[in-house]
Chains A and B, each alone.
Chain A
């Protein structure tokens, strides 16, 4: 008998601060009581998942991107590199060639097209990937180096590095970055299901619509979790009904939850309503997995 491949769930939102991390860490905790689960923090600019697992110590290693480095001796100043680079990351100024590291996309064009091999690629630190294990839970944290502007290369590298590692796990959760641009598309790419966490406000709805529009282009199945439910704005539910997006949980607006969360605590044990809403999410995930097996 072969083991089934891991089931991959991305948690995304559009708007920031709606509760992606909150949902991701609680689901990971819950799922890992009965199955093996890997939680991958892909909000690489501001990763927060590890705050909620202080007992798990991350073993981190550096991740690199490749950028060209000018070799003055080999260079004949032919100017091809300058003309080739679409990102203005390599420029010939006078009798020297300057590389602007933060503009480089690591496409290799300047390096490999150089007739004199005067722009060999070298490693530059992009960030770190940390891994910690505790019983059935594996925590992976992908952390962008401060000052590095592009999140996508690190997200893609994390997915690639995890390919062999996570085949042994039953479930993978991707805690995705906020927004609706390229980092979200990259983070959710391998997912079998995307859970969108929203809040019942006009901002929450507006950004939910943008996120849905983005993810529909990638044809991902989606389900909605409404966080801070009950603050008096019902348009989110109407929208989901019209768009035939299943609302699988409504997490109540609660100051008590916010207070515990502020300290980096997991709160399910103390809150039966939250527990039952999260159970709905887990049930939905299992059902979806079986239906699509």
Chain B
């Protein structure tokens, strides 16, 4: 089994459109995992129907039992996250700030504090229009630990791939370079960058590429909206060459990406030429992985 992760650094360069299009051309040999759990979108294009739903708990949350509390304030003193507040002479946990470290529980002389498992979201395994199962998730609003939810989604995707005897897992990643991205990279054989010829996108791509030095996957890049600015496109190509990143494809600035979304289709399905283009991209990725 080989995992292909689609990343960009900067948001809105076309990761999800590319991931879904690769899924459309590679449906017979791949499983799709939407690991942008903060803002998951692939289900909108593939009209997924959940076949398995599981509430996901990750980490813990402190709770003060008011009957046992002797109002000594020790918990508030040790908390480094400003998660304990005092109102109406009662010490209370602010759930959004609590990181579940348990320090308050350890120092409470009245054993008034307990830790409970914390809900972080819902994980789905779904059927899709492409006759390909999809693993995805929905992070609870404002929740912590999206990295662990990403790991769980990947885990579900791997199980599906084994059960269905599929060779590849296509992973749509999150923007940025933080914990959800690092979590999506564990075990990746190939990272496909989707970038665009803007100063911001190149800046962000460079930071992402630095992060990858730790993982050393095979890398390739799609330059999306390549005709937006010829100079910037050249600059990106130079960066790719210097860092031995294969230029897998260039796609023109086109309203097809937005239009296909309205029709709830992947770009590859919405346009014949695009379908051929994505077939070529898929073939290139597979060649590099063989």
Which of A106, A113, A202 is within 8 Å of B264, CB to CB? Answer: A202
A272 within 8 A of B: no
Return the CB mask of A20-36 against B: 1 if under 8 Å, else 0.
01000000000000000
CB <8 Å contact, B211 and A146: yes
A84/B106 contact (C-beta < 8 A), A255-B253, A263-B199 known:
yes
Question: A46-B200, A51-B199, A150-B178 known; 10 other A-B pairs, CB under 8 Å?
Answer: A15-B11, A16-B175, A48-B203, A107-B101, A149-B179, A179-B176, A207-B39, A231-B259, A262-B196, A262-B228
Which of A48, A109, A213, A231 is within 8 Å of B200, CB to CB? Answer: A48
Question: With the chains together, A50 CA to B143 CA distance in Å?
Answer: 29
B3 within 8 A of A: no
B262 within 8 A of A: yes
A258/B142 contact (C-beta < 8 A), A17-B12, A105-B101, A147-B214 known:
no
By a beta-carbon cutoff of 8 Å, the part of chain B in contact with chain A is 9-13, 16, 38-39, 41, 44, 59-60, 78, 80-81, 96, 99-103, 106-107, 115, 139, 141-144, 146-147, 174-179, 182, 196-200, 203-204, 207, 210-211, 214, 225, 228-229, 231-232, 253, 255, 258-259, 261-262, 264
CB distance from B258 to the nearest CB of A (A): 5
Question: With the chains together, A151 CA to B144 CA distance in Å?
Answer: 11
CB <8 Å contact, B228 and A21: no
CB distance from A29 to the nearest CB of B (A): 16
CB within 8 Å: A-B pair count: 182
Question: With the chains together, A201 CA to B16 CA distance in Å?
Answer: 13
Measured between beta carbons, the chain A residues less than 8 angstroms from B231 are 263
Which of A15, A105, A210, A263 is within 8 Å of B141, CB to CB? Answer: A210
CB <8 Å contact, A84 and B102: yes
CB <8 Å contact, B38 and A231: no
CB <8 Å contact, A178 and B175: yes
CB distance from B232 to the nearest CB of A (A): 6
Which of A18, A177, A201, A202 is within 8 Å of B176, CB to CB? Answer: A177
CB <8 Å contact, A182 and B261: no
Measured CB to CB, the nearest residue on chain A to B44 is A202
Which of A86, A105, A218, A262 is within 8 Å of B197, CB to CB? Answer: A262
Question: With the chains together, A46 CA to B207 CA distance in Å?
Answer: 8
Which A103-150 residues have a C-beta within 8 angstroms of B? 105-109, 112-113, 144, 146-147, 149-150
CB <8 Å contact, A14 and B39: yes
Measured CB to CB, the nearest residue on chain A to B228 is A262
Which of A107, A109, A149, A262 is within 8 Å of B182, CB to CB? Answer: A149
Measured between beta carbons, the chain A residues less than 8 angstroms from B258 are 201, 228, 231-233
CB <8 Å contact, B12 and A15: yes
Measured between beta carbons, the chain B residues less than 8 angstroms from A45 are 175-178, 207
CB <8 Å contact, A17 and B13: yes
Measured between beta carbons, the chain A residues less than 8 angstroms from B264 are 202
Which A202-224 residues have a C-beta within 8 angstroms of B? 202-203, 206-207, 210, 213-214, 217-218
